[in-house]
Chain A
Amino acid sequence: MNTRTPQCTGFDSPVGMSRRQTLQSFGGGLGGMALAGLMGNKGSAADGVLHGLHHAAKAKRVIYLFQSGGPSQIELFDHKPRLVDETGEELPDSVRKGQRLTGMSGNQASLPLVGSPFAFQQHGQSGAWLSEVLPNTAKVADDITFVKSMYTEAINHGPGVTFMQTGSQFPGRPSMGSWLSYGLGSSNENLPSFVVLVTKNKGGQPLVSRLWGSGFLPGKHAGVRFRADKDAVLYLNSPDGIDPASRRKMLDRLGELHQHQLEKSGDVELETRIAQYEMAFRMQASIPEVTALENEPEATYQLYGEDARTPGTFAANCLMARRLAERGVQFIQLYHPGWDQHGGIPSGIKRQAKETDQASAALITDLKQRGMLDDTLVIWGGEFGRTNYCQGKIKATSFGRDHHPRCFTMWMAGGGVKAGYSHGETDEYGYNVQSDGVHIHDFHATVLHLLGIDHERLTHKYQGRYFRLTDVHGHVVKPLLA
């Protein structure tokens, strides 16, 4: 396919192909070149803007299980017996150190500590501490790296999720998946390289479509959301009355028109147009094939849970993610909202855990069984954590927690991270990071590293300067690497 070499003039667009380049590489195979202009590129990493990886990749693809709203690390991962013992006592000033709080609990007269109502136990060879609400995650604890010392500056959802997805609290930067599509191109010519799946019918903090947008990168790098209805992709299906045979005949004639135009004008951009319509036709078949979860055997549903039979659930989306990964989709971004428990923690956490625990663990097991866990990075986590003190008053059976950016837990599995490892620690009150803090920028740098990319060398010039996912920050967290 195309034989583009790195440009030294500085004037040529690093994306797409100029007419001159296209003509120069005319002998390289027209069809291939035309495809290269579509939805990222085909084949190897050499087709992205990077022309190749910076170092050998451990992960070839990412499945990011985003838990939107800010899951409480204290009820799930970060075992803090002291909070249980001191429930009802005031958060010491020596721990808070004057840090700002959100407007929701900042003017409370009292900030009473509150412990987890759930029992914690150690699991597996690695002895990872996990809450009783995550029995399935506990079973695969030895495949997971827990990062307990994540931190961010964002204190509310909009900026928080935007930071986690784009490396900036302000809108307008490309999403992680867009950077990957821009850098590496696509390894599949029938499916988009960046697919987004959002759990259906969940309340909670709203998500916005720019979270998977391409920001200042070309629009073709934006995430493509698959819907849980008959049109998995916007207007995927032909209109009523048009069957595939009729559509095929029409596209053949349209292809003839374009071919004729190409012969008359010699403008090879028309090859791109022809390929664009052929790919659209193939997607009309390939997308229903990948979204046909009903063809999965019974054992799959035992693994992922009965929820996986209902389109649009987190479980169904996890299963879909595995099917997309198998077919070469590089970045699969799930969103599961509903973790914003300002009140009603005990029941809220149980509900959220029930919706996510089995399928998250099943995805790891399933990928492992298929030999895909080694080169698939699975990420689980939200935009920030929750406070160690109660928002409002502690009631007999219920309490809430406010947003807490100072520390939270995420986990990763496969794709070149250690198996059965826990990184970083919070203080015994679960308020501050005590050791080995991992900032969002460090997390981004590490994910790119696993994908074979030096985060300092994947850049895009915009408004007069070069931008990166990590902008001017970020360090690869080496202890996480297997």
Chain B
Amino acid sequence: MIRDNALAVSGLLSDKVGGASVKPYDLEMSFKPMKPDKGDLLYRRSLYTYWKRTGPSPVMMTLDSSKKDVCRVKREETASPLQSLVLLNSPQFVEAARVTAEKLLHKHGDDDGKIIDESFRLLTSRSPDNREREILENLLNEQDAEFSESPEQAKAYFTTGDKSPDYQGEDARLAAVTVLVSALMNFDESITKR
């Protein structure tokens, strides 16, 4: 769900139904490494992820997917730092954040307020309050300043993922909005049902 949601928000999610199993990025990091797929096959619902019993998807294992070797009547609630690392650093989420950022920039251009409001709503299903807006504005400004100072860092940031960047504006701006979306993808309200 968490992965599917990130893909859906970015618009990357493939809506194809049925078919053979697919290999997303993380299977390359499995205990039995497999070569990931290309193109659309990277963005299918997690339901279609190839399952190798001796080395299952490491992202799914980290996020406490049921292991298929023991019976489970309910999913566990967990919070481990290893999960944070997946959401912060794995190519699937980094790419989805960037593609979401491109979408928001195409739609709202220079309007930070609208970008913050829409990204927040996309990921939490509600509008931010004033304090949340303020925090996110600060985040956006800080990151913009960071990447403006080192544009090569921004370029490097866009190399993650199979899909190449689709944005003609300033690199620093796209990088900063990507960090904004990434932060929101890690926000408790985006990933937890309370």
Contact (Cβ within 8 A) A225 B31: yes
Residues on B with beta carbons closer than 8 Å to the beta carbon of A234 = 26, 29, 58-59, 62, 82, 85-86, 90
B132 x A254 contact (CB < 8 A): no
Interface 1/0 per residue, A264-297 and B, CB below 8 Å: 0101011011001101100110000000000000
Instruction: Tell me the smallest distance from the CB of B32 to a CB of chain A, in Å.
Output: 8
Q: Are B79 and A276 in contact (CB under 8 A)?
A: yes
Asked, given contacts A250-B183, A253-B135, A254-B183, whether A208 binds B156 with beta carbons under 8 Å apart, the answer is: no
Contacts of B69 in A (CB 8 A): 171-172, 210, 213, 215
The reply to whether A273 and B188 contact each other, CB–CB distance below 8 Å, is yes
Separation of A215 and B68 alpha carbons in the complex (Å): 10
Q: Is B1 an interface residue (CB 8 A)?
A: no
Q: Is A206 an interface residue (CB 8 A)?
A: yes
Do residues B85 and A206 form an inter-chain contact, with CB atoms below 8 A?
A: no
Contact of B80 with A257 in the complex, beta carbons under 8 Å:
no
Query: A237's closest neighbor in chain B, by CB?
Result: B89
A201 within 8 A of B: no
**In the complex, what distance in Å separates the CA atom of A222 from the CA atom of B62?**
9
Does A39 lie at the interface of the complex (its beta carbon under 8 Å from any beta carbon of B)? yes
In the complex, residue of chain B having the shortest beta-carbon distance to the beta carbon of A267: B194
B58, B89, B187: residue with the most chain A Cβ atoms closer than 10 Å: B89
B100 interfacial contact with A, CB 8 Å: no
Q: Judging by beta carbons under 8 Å apart, are B155 and A250 in contact?
A: no
Given contacts A37-B79, A172-B70, A218-B78, is CB(A209)–CB(B61) below 8 Å? Answer: yes
Cβ contact of B54, chosen from A206, A256, A276, cutoff 8 A: A206
Q: Is the interface of B mostly helix, strand, loop or mixed?
A: helix
CB-nearest residue of chain A to B77? A16
In the bound complex, residues from chain A placing their C-beta under 8 Å from that of B79 are 37-38, 272-273, 276
Given contacts A243-B153, A280-B84, contact A258 B70 (CB under 8 A): no
A224 at interface (Cβ–Cβ under 8 A)?
A: yes
Say how far A181's CB is from chain B's closest CB, in angstroms.
Answer: 12
CB of B146 within 8 A of CB of A246, answer yes
Query: Which residues of chain A have C-beta atoms less than 8 A from B186's C-beta?
Result: 254, 277
What band does the interface of chain B fall in when counting residues whose beta carbon is under 8 Å from A? 35 or more
Would B84 and A277 count as touching, CB distance under 8 A? yes
Q: Which of B80, B153, B192 contacts A39 (CB 8 A)?
A: B80
A97 on interface, CB distance cutoff 8 Å: no
Find residues 29-68 in chain B having any chain A CB closer than 8 Å to their own CB.
29, 31-32, 53-56, 58-59, 61-62, 64, 67
For the complex, is A299 an interface residue (Cβ under 8 Å from B)? no
Chain B's closest residue to A245 (CB) is B146
Is B154 interfacial (CB 8 A cutoff)?
yes
Closest B residue to A227 by CB, please name it. Answer: B29
As a 0/1 sequence over residues 130 to 141 of chain B, the CB contacts with chain A under 8 angstroms (1 = contact) are: 011001101100
- Chain A residues within an 8 Å CB radius of B194: 265, 267, 269
Our pick among A213, A253, A276 for the contact of B138 (Cβ within 8 Å) is A253
Please tell me if the beta carbons of B135 and A236 are within 8 angstroms of each other in the complex. Answer: no
Distance A147 CA – B54 CA, assembled complex (angstroms): 31
Contact across chains for B89 and A250 when beta carbons are under 8 A apart: no
CB contact list, B146-190 vs A, under 8 A: 146-147, 153-160, 175, 179, 182-183, 186-189
Do A246 and B179 have beta carbons less than 8 Å apart? yes
A57 within 8 A of B: no
Given A171-B69, A237-B89, also A38-B81 (CB < 8 A): yes
Q: Mark A230-271, 1 if CB is under 8 A from B, else 0.
A: 010111111111110111011001101110110001010110
Bound together, the chains give a CA A260 to CA B186 distance in angstroms of 15
Contacts of B119 in A (CB 8 A): none
Decide: A239 and B153 in contact? CB cutoff 8 A.
no
Docked-complex contact A208 and B31, CB < 8 angstroms: yes
Q: Which residues of chain B are near A250, meaning CB under 8 Å?
A: 139, 143, 179, 182-183
Cβ distance A469 to chain B, nearest Cβ, rounded Å: 15
B183 touches A276 (CB 8 A): no
Residues of the A chain whose Cβ atoms lie less than 8 Å from the Cβ of B127: none
Q: Which of B58, B71, B81, B83 has the most CB of A within 10 A?
A: B81
> Taking the complex as formed, is A216 at the interface, i.e. its CB lies under 8 A from any CB of chain B?
yes
167-219 of chain A: CB within 8 A of chain B: 171-172, 192, 206-210, 213, 215-216, 218-219
Assembled-state Cα–Cα distance A225/B82 (Å): 11
Is B80 within 8 A of A276, CB to CB? yes
Expressed in whole angstroms, the Cα–Cα distance for A172 and B160 within the complex equals 36
Per a CB cutoff under 8 Å, which of B85, B138, B154 touches A241? B154
Could you list 10 examples of A-B contacts with CB < 8 Å?
A39-B82, A210-B53, A215-B70, A218-B78, A219-B76, A233-B85, A240-B159, A240-B160, A242-B179, A280-B84
Closest 8 CB pairs of A and B: A241-B157, A280-B84, A241-B156, A280-B81, A208-B54, A253-B139, A219-B64, A235-B89
Residues of B within 8 A of A (CB): 26, 29, 31-32, 53-56, 58-59, 61-62, 64, 67, 69-71, 76-86, 88-91, 94, 131-132, 135-136, 138-139, 142-143, 146-147, 153-160, 175, 179, 182-183, 186-189, 192, 194
Q: A256-B135, A258-B188, A283-B81 are in contact. List 12 more A-B contacts (CB 8 A).
A: A38-B80, A172-B71, A192-B82, A215-B69, A234-B90, A240-B160, A241-B156, A249-B143, A250-B183, A276-B80, A276-B83, A279-B81
Binding site for B on A (CB under 8 A): 16, 37-39, 171-172, 192, 206-210, 213, 215-216, 218-220, 222, 224-225, 227, 231, 233-243, 245-247, 249-250, 253-254, 256-258, 260-261, 265, 267, 269-270, 272-273, 276-277, 279-280, 283-284, 463
